A and B are shown apart, each in its own frame.
Chain A
Amino acid sequence: MDEQRYSRRDFMQMAGVGGLVFASGLPGCATYGQSRPDFNFIQLSDIHWGYDNPKVNPDSKGTLRKAIATVNNLEQPPDFIVFTGDLTQTTDDPKVRRQRLREFRDMAAELKAPKVLFFAGEHDASLDRGEAYQEIIGGPLYYTFDHKGVHFIVLDNISDPAPILGAKQIEWLKTDLARQQPDAPIVVLTHRPLFSLYPQWDWATRDGMAAIDLLMPYKNVAVFYGHIHHEHHHMTGHIAHHAAQSLMFPLSPVGTAPQKTQLPWDAAQPYKGLGYRTVQATAAGTPQRMQELPVKA
């Protein structure tokens, strides 16, 4: 397996562009057909509703609302919005877990988009294997959907405390992929990194390589995930993996702290390190693009 790690600068240089917008390894960069319409979607991640540490985020109750207000006023509204897990801060109390999920659900309902999709993170679902999440948010823990010619696959690597995908889900993925053409544009959405980014900080999926191996024969695959609370880009062979920022607290990147660290609030630069992502599928012949957007004070 040709596995490489890139800094953000390297990744942008590789893509040949600078600034916040850069060509990604998204499916369809080379093969996106003339007949496929443009669309964009938004990735919101790691909301951790219920988190309370003013030294890290003194606006823990307002940050998501600010992001929602910004998204609702975007010049180019998204076709859909997806929350990539850790909607709530974990709690050992099942009643509080349900309350946090309900509060989150009610706030997310304020988003103005044709479609809002969800899946769980380990904070939402590991302690009860997704029971409260499915009761309040609803829907299965892993699923697929198609949008304007792109096949989206949501993988669950969090409802087992292990954390694993598990043999049943890997078999399900194999069956789903068997129905796709080798050049089909495929986007995988998941919470934890599928590759072993840094297992020393629990940034891995134990059997994630099984999923990557299944995806490898497909030419146009990109993975969007959360969990690590900062922007990160990585290639496993031709498959690009893009981690998103959090909307509650940033975590130190690997190599910048001896331990996994929640970065303290910077009063001079409020909301620094927090944000969300827009992903654009542009017209045929031009690459698809991503943009990391900050939370505005």
Chain B
Amino acid sequence: MRRFAHNLAATAAIAGVAGYLLAAAAHGAAAGERIALVAAKFTFSQPEIRLKKGRPVTIALTSPDFMHGFSVPDFNVRADVVPGKAVEVTFTPDRSGRFAFLCDNFCGEGHDHMSGFLIVTDD
């Protein structure tokens, strides 16, 4: 009996984890890719971000030092990245190519170089 109970509990636990993973996978499919990006004087943590055309992406932004901007003018996306706050922008690139993103809040000596590229591919 004790062994049966143990097996039951283990099965339930496995089912629970599997269910969580399935739910997470389903959520991920709906929300698309999620990318963490840190904006700090005077760089972004990823100078190039590879994305798929037509697939939604969420950029999760943080900043340790200044209210940087995150702007992708070609996709009409921008946000202020307030230190101490998690900021997310979600969008779907509808074109393939190479698109600039930049800090568009003047942040200091290296501001003019604080930029990167989204590389959007067809498949």
| A contact set with B: CB distance below 8 Å | 90-92, 122, 126-127, 158, 161-163, 196, 199-202, 206, 259-260
Contacts and interface: CB of A to CB of B under 8 A. Distances in A.
B48 interface: no
Contacts of A206: 104
Contact of A202 (B99, B104, B108): B104
Q: How large is the interface on B (under 10, 10 to 19, 20 to 34, 35 or more residues)?
A: 10 to 19
Contacts of A91: 109
A161 B67 contact: yes
A80 to B, nearest CB: 28
Contacts of A127: 106, 108
Which of A122, A200, A206, A259 has the most CB atoms of chain B within a 10 A radius of its CB? A200
24 contacts: A90-B106, A90-B108, A90-B109, A91-B109, A92-B108, A92-B109, A122-B106, A158-B106, A161-B67, A161-B105, A161-B106, A162-B104, A163-B104, A163-B106, A199-B71, A199-B73, A199-B104, A200-B102, A201-B100, A202-B102, A202-B104, A202-B112, A259-B115, A260-B112
The 6 closest A-B pairs by CB, nearest first: A126-B106, A199-B73, A200-B100, A161-B106, A161-B105, A122-B106
B107 interface: yes
Interface in B77-99: 99
B122 interface: no
Interface of A is mostly: loop
Contacts of B33: none
Nearest to A258: B98
Contacts of B115: 259
Interface of B is mostly: mixed
Contacts of A122: 106
Given A200-B100, A202-B102, A161 B112 contact: no
Contacts of B102: 200-202
A90 B73 CA distance: 25
Interface string B63-74: 000010101011
Interface of B: 67, 69, 71, 73-74, 99-100, 102, 104-109, 111-112, 115
Contacts, number: 40
Contacts of A92: 108-109
A127 B109 CA distance: 10
Nearest to A123: B106
Given A90-B108, A161-B107, 16 more contacts: A90-B106, A92-B108, A127-B106, A127-B108, A162-B105, A163-B106, A199-B71, A199-B73, A200-B99, A200-B100, A201-B100, A201-B102, A202-B104, A202-B112, A259-B115, A260-B112
Which of B67, B74, B108 has the most CB atoms of chain A within a 10 A radius of its CB? B108
A91 B111 CA distance: 11
Contacts of A163: 104-106
A92 B110 CA distance: 10
B67 to A, nearest CB: 7
Nearest to A125: B106
A133 to B, nearest CB: 14
Nearest to A159: B106
Given A259-B115, A260-B112, A200 B106 contact: no
Contacts of A199: 71, 73, 104
B97 to A, nearest CB: 12
Contacts of A161: 67, 105-107
Contacts of B109: 90-92
Nearest to B72: A200
B82 to A, nearest CB: 13
A49 B111 CA distance: 17
Contacts of B108: 90, 92, 127
A200 B73 contact: yes
B49 to A, nearest CB: 15
